[in-house]
Structure 1
Amino acid sequence: MADIILAGFGGQGVLTAGLILINVAVKQDKNVTWTSSYGAEMRGGTASCSVVISDEEIGSPYPTKLDVLLALNEPSYDKFLPMVREGGTVIVNSSLVKKENYPDNVNVWKIAATDLANEQGAARNTNIYMLGAFVKATGMMEKDFFIEQMNAYFEKKGKINPANAVSIERGYELAEKV
């Protein structure tokens, strides 16, 4: 079982990233839950979603200890880091999380997701770069399968964008362990 929180500012695609993640997990025959939380101001306010992925039946969709944290901004990193269990994985958007020291008891991965998305001309793909880093850091899902299922998710919505696959590939390639 993996208890995961994705968190950042509203408008960064945090909730969409969580939905992509559960859709891919379902295609792997996993049990999943997804819950969201966001500030009243939406864009610019705090947004987070909790994802639980398991081979077994899931008892609660609200994790108290995290296996994985994807922090798209520094306030989210500060808020959710204490929930990460020892040995857990923290993936930070180093474009916005400007920490010099990270805890020794968790595995920290960095990806300059916002900068990379802006350089690509796809500013809305910060979340997709983070998912590429997630695939690499956790090894929970095979990269090509993830891309295939992510594309299928967007195809159902009529929002096919070739930049998404590039963002996963580059996020996977450029994520580095601290």
Structure 2
Amino acid sequence: MATNIVCAGFGGQGVLTAGLILAKISVDAGKNVTWIPSYGSEMRGGTANCHIKISDEEIASPFVRDIDVLIALNELAVDKFEGKVKAGGFMIVNSSIVCGKEFRKDIDIVPVPVTEVAAKAANPRGANLAMLGAFVEKTKLFEKEFFAQGIDDFFAGKGKVNPANAKCFYLGCALCHENQ
């Protein structure tokens, strides 16, 4: 059975990159994957999201109707997608931005202050990686070390090496663990 994931937020928060990283590492782990991006024409500051399906079996359709996991980097993402999360599913929410909001009672909420995590790691563009850390900790779909290496490999393939990326990822894992 496929795991249906939506990653959503503002353009510039690394939403599509987070989805690409998740998709690539899933393929590296031998899983079947689909990744469909969606973003406004204004990009940075506009809305962006991507739909990801991960499965051990063949995926018949790339479309995500019922969401198992919502990775929400801002309040607009919560507003747009919370209603599509399956009962029993969960949302990983950037609690640095989404504060004081009432959530559905039939889904699990994992608040992670990823903006502060990225600042603490001296990696202001690493909030998306902290969200992926929370995702890996919550779902247990991947070993943490395997996923962290996958992040490093993803960026090394683009000629970018930043040890703070792994720091953001592991801080996201730790904060998710604390909030469970």
Match of 2:28 in 1: 27
Match of 1:169 in 2: 170
Q: CA deviation at 1:103?
A: 1.8
Structure 2 runs not aligned, ≥5 long: none
Cα offsets for 1:92-137 (capped at 9, x unmatched) = 0001111343222111101100122123221101101100111111
Q: CA deviation at 1:71?
A: 0.2
- 1:108 corresponds to 2:109: yes
Distance 1:101 1:47 in 2: 23
Distance 1:137 1:32 in 2: 19
Count of matched residue positions in the alignment of Structure 1 and Structure 2: 178
TM-score for the superposition, normalised by structure 2? 0.95
Distance 1:34 1:48 in 2: 10
Q: CA deviation at 1:31?
A: 0.2
SS in structure 2 of the partner of residue 123 of structure 1: coil
Pairing of 1:1-178 with structure 2 (within 5 A)? 1-175=2-176, 176-177=178-179
**Aligned residue type for 1:177:** N
Q: CA deviation at 1:62?
A: 1.3
TM-score for the superposition, normalised by structure 1? 0.96
**Residue 122 of structure 2 contacts residue 164 of structure 2 at CA under 8 Å; is this kept in 1?**
no
Q: Which 4+ residue blocks in structure 1 deviate beyond 4 angstroms? A: none
**Residue 7 of structure 1 contacts residue 76 of structure 1 at CA under 8 Å; is this kept in 2?**
yes
**Aligned residue type for 2:12:** G
Structure 1 runs not aligned, ≥5 long: none
**Aligned residue type for 2:16:** L
Distance 2:118 2:69 in 1: 22
